[in-house]
Amino acid sequence: MKYKQLIPIIALATASIPIHATIVDLDFSNHIEDTNLNNSFGPSYDGPVMHFLNVGVHNGKTIDAKISSRIIGDATFLYHTPNYKEGSTQPSGDIGFLYQTNSPGPAGLIYTFEFFDGTDGLSGTFSIPYTIPEFEMIGYDIDGEPVQSEQVRVYKNEGFFSYQTGSAGASLTAEESPDGLSVLFTGPGTNYNETDTSGAVKFTYKNTSIVTLQFETVTASNSPLPNPIFSAFDGNWDLDDFTPPIGSSDESDFGDAPDSYNTLKSNDGAEHAMTSTLYLGSSVDADTDGQPGIASNGDDLDVDGNDDDGITILTSLEKGLDALINVNASGSGYLQAWADWDMNGSFDEGEQILTNHPIVSGVQIVPIRVSDSATIGSVQTRFRLSSNPNIPSSGYVGDGEVEDYVFDVTDPGTTIQHSGYYTAAFEDNWPEIGDFDLNDVVAYYRTTIVSKDGEVLRFDITGTIMAYGASYGNGLGWKLNGFSESDINLSLARLEKNGVTRANISPFTGEDKSIASPGGDLVVVASLNLREDIIINEECKFHRTNPSCSASLESEQMTFSISLPFNDGSEPSVSSLLPLNGADPFIFAAGYGLYHGDSFSTAPGTDLEIHTADFPPTSRGTLVSSFYGIAQDDSDPATSKYYRTTGNLPWGILISSPWNHPSEYIDIGDAYPDFAEWATSGGTEKTTWYLNPTASNTWSTAD
């Protein structure tokens, strides 16, 4: 139908989690961008991208959405129409768009929906994709007419599960692409109104955070030009008279773990639509259903042979230690993995051992960590490869493969020792005092050693960024002693952000593991630029320092972990690393060329370090010594005085407890009246100054 083809989205249902089953009523009315046009469809916006807050709720999570448009061929995108509505029976909360073809021949529009977690502090950040277990989309009036064809293409790898066309004789036709990766729905060539399912198709999607609808049209040579086409999407408008569901894929791969892990199709089993472009190992075969068994070998023993050949354990799985697995894949995607460490028959929260680990075609070695509380003996695992991130341990996805394995966990007799928790806080304007609120970077962390027979097998630093009150970019690192970089098994060493391993990143450089460390002092890096790693709400400007900003907008905090397993034969003694303490934390300027204060005529890079009081820069902080005595700095290497003012005030402090840092622009002396006496005395007076704040001037860690 020329000028108006309507495609509403309706019910999003959580069929995979029946206890919490809900239908998400999508509402595209709470848009961020202001409309700047008025037309017959309603207030509209002419930019290519629109953002929406709170388009729906699922399992207690708020869902935000981003909708993007991209032209195909000789066409022009004109505008979006949020909250479009036509007729008294159509609910509010739609979004429509208008584009036009400019010449005869093929052209079209790619319209992409991306869903994000918009809960509390994530609202409006559009940073963490939200995978919806199941939802339906209904496309209306894809019918065509003499001067143009009308078609819409959908992609299987985006969780496209099934479709239903109209039950009338003249309805849309479905044609799978030659490569098997998409399905094209073509209109019957007759105009139908919005409520007639002859020009409609219902799509069902599962476990995806993205949907791409590719509208394709061929404009006839006798068509008036430009040729405008309008489409709209609805969140809760349903119609009858569809055919029974038809599967989007004829063949699927299932797992073979016991069915308590969700293996059978009837129990929302882990299922992958088979493609020729992405799978684990050398092959994948089709299954009619899951084949559960205590040994997880049902898929290996079926008539099509063993296709669970993508994962190989390279080292023993020892309780509390790291291990290496070999992953062989055909195609690139994301690998998720779970291990039932307590062997209670399910993959519980905290038992995901790989999250969105990037995999490329070929063989790669991937580190995993065995839980400190793992059951000794046989442990059930599941590995799922897909082009979509964030897929769960059960349910359908549009491509890839699932492989289940049982592995043995042994107990090497290890001992795990933790330090107390420390708070490190910095003012980043050295050698100038700045606002001296000591909240530019606030990190809360502890150190851990895993040992056996008096030798340390692994050293860890784990923590949380409590505040970031800086306009500059700052990295975060530690100088360590007691061993050398060459003692560390770099293939097992890992750096994590928010529980996800930063693939192939060296903890010594914060860069690719192939980039050699510059030598000198032993330094580990949690982040090269915290300002890029932390979710900073625009309303708050900073992170957890602005007292006028609701704490709910900043509830998500960045966690980090640096893990250093030692090479066999290079393990330091436990006595050489005890007592465990806060080590030597420091911040450093981000990449070269980024402004870091007026004291520097040339914007510094990582050569600028700021340590806690009286800790010197590392051998890599080569810029620092040139600025001793500049502005308010009174460092004197001859007396081991570093990063202090003439009044003995520090640019960095280390406290052996949690700490309520000063609010933004509040001098630490105003937030903690005893601080100045403690600092000027060299730490001999008012030693518990950090326990006595002026509460109205600080940000509570309970917020």
Residue 298, pLDDT score: 75
Per the structure block, which two tokens stand in for 66?
Answer: 């981003």
Backbone angles phi, psi at 499, to 5 degrees: 80, 0
Cis status of the peptide bond prior to 579, with omega within 30 of 0? yes
Q: What is the DSSP string of 329-378?
A: EES-EEEEEEE-TT-SSS--TT-EEEEEEEE-SEEEEEEEE--TTPPSEE
CA 351 to chain centre: 17
Residues 209, 389: contact at Cβ < 8 Å? yes
Check if the beta carbon of residue 143 is closer than 8 Å to that of residue 117. no
Binning pLDDT at 50, 70 and 90, where does residue 6 land?
very low
Across the strands, what pairs with 363?
A: 328
Alpha helices in 570-636 (DSSP H): 574-577
pLDDT, average across residues 288-316: 79
Task: Report the pLDDT value the prediction gives residue 412, as an integer from 0 to 100.
Answer: 85
In this prediction, residue 304 carries a pLDDT of: 57
Q: Are 401 and 253 in contact (CB under 8 A)?
A: yes
Which has the higher per-residue pLDDT, 303 or 602?
A: 602
- For residue 462, give the amino acid letter: T
Write down the residue that tokens 């692409």 correspond to: 177
Whole-angstrom CA distances from 127 to 91, 118, 277, 532, 681 are 29, 9, 28, 12, 46
For 603-619, write each residue's pLDDT tens digit: 888 899 999 999 999 99
**Percentage of the chain with pLDDT > 70?**
94
From residue 469, alpha-carbon distances to 227, 544, 598, 679 in Å are 52, 8, 18, 22
Per-residue pLDDT at 138: 84
Q: Determine the pLDDT at residue 557.
A: 80
DSSP state string for 309-331: -SEEE-S-EETTSEEEEEEEEES
Do residues 39 and 228 touch, judged by C-beta distance below 8 A?
A: no
**Beta pairing partners, 93:** none
Domains defined for the chain, CATH in brackets: 37-247 (no CATH), 252-412 (2.60.40.1930), 416-697 (no CATH)
Who wins on pLDDT, 169 or 459? Answer: 459
> Does 367 sit behind a cis peptide bond, omega within 30 degrees of 0 on the bond before it?
no
Cβ atoms of 541 and 442 within 8 Å: the answer is no
Q: Is the model's pLDDT at 267 over the cut of 90?
A: yes
The pLDDT-based confidence of 223 (bands split at 50, 70, 90) is very high
Instruction: For the chain, give percent helix, strand, coil, nearest 5.
Output: 10, 40, 50
Of 230-244, 334-348, 364-378, 575-589, the range with the lowest mean pLDDT is 230-244
- pLDDT reading at 482 higher than 50: yes
Inter-residue contact 151 to 185 (CB < 8 Å): yes
CA-wise closest residue to 618 among 688, 521, 512, 498: 521
Q: CA 92, CA 16: separation in Å to the nearest integer?
A: 28
Tell me the CB-side half-sphere exposure of residue 340, using CA atoms within 13 A. Answer: 20
Contact 226, 182 (CB under 8 A): no
Three-state secondary structure call for residue 19: helix
pLDDT at 85: 82
Tokens of 136: 């339906």
Question: What confidence tens digit (pLDDT) does each residue in 507-543 have?
Answer: 999 999 887 776 799 999 999 999 999 988 888 899 9
The β-bridge partners of 77 are 99
Is the previous residue joined to 226 through a cis bond, with omega within 30 degrees of 0? yes
Residues 577-584, mean pLDDT to the nearest whole number:
93
- Name the amino acid, one letter, at 222: N
pLDDT attached to residue 263: 95
Is the pLDDT confidence value at 169 over 90?
no
Strand pairing report for 271-273 and 396-397 = parallel
**What confidence score (pLDDT) does residue 240 get?**
84
**What is the pLDDT, as a whole number, of residue 416?**
82
Mean pLDDT for the chain? 89
Two structure tokens written together for 653 = 């402090």
Averaged pLDDT, 121-140: 89
pLDDT digits (tens, 9 = 90+) for 492-507: 998 988 877 888 899 9
Statement: residue 10 has pLDDT above 70: no
C-alpha span between 214 and 198 (Å, rounded): 20
Beta strands in 468-598 (DSSP E): 474-480, 494-497, 500-501, 522-527, 559-565, 584-589
Tokens standing for residue 37: 């046009």
The whole-number average pLDDT for the span 115-141 is 90
Whether 159 contacts 398, CB under 8 Å = yes
Predicted confidence (pLDDT) at residue 137 exceeds the cutoff of 90: no
Least confident of 133-142, 429-438, 603-612: 133-142
CB distance 241 to 167 below 8 Å = yes
Confidence of residue 239 (pLDDT cuts 50, 70, 90): confident
Give Cβ neighbours of residue 11 (< 8 Å, ≥ 6 apart).
Answer: 23, 24, 135, 136, 236, 238
Q: What is the pLDDT of residue 295?
A: 79
Place of tokens 């479905």: 174
User: What is the distance between the alpha carbons of residues 319 and 375, in angstroms, rounded to a whole number?
Assistant: 8
pLDDT in tens, 337-360: 999 999 999 999 999 999 999 999
| pLDDT value for 660 | 92
With contact defined as beta carbons under 8 Å apart, do 34 and 153 qualify?
A: no
Residue of higher predicted confidence among 411 and 678: 678
**For residues 270 and 263, is the Cβ–Cβ distance under 8 A?**
yes
Instruction: Report how far residue 170's alpha carbon sits from residue 185's, in angstroms, rounded to the nearest whole number.
Output: 13
- Nearest-angstrom CA–CA distance, 59 and 16: 12
pTM of the predicted model as reported, rounded to 2 decimal places:
0.72
| Cα 324–Cα 580–Cα 608 angle in degrees, nearest 5 | 85
Mean pLDDT confidence for 656-664: 92
3-state secondary structure 379-399: EEEEEEEECCCCCCCCCEECC
Which of 54-63, 291-300, 331-340, 446-455 is the least confident region?
291-300
Taking 90 as the threshold, does the pLDDT of residue 177 lie above it? yes
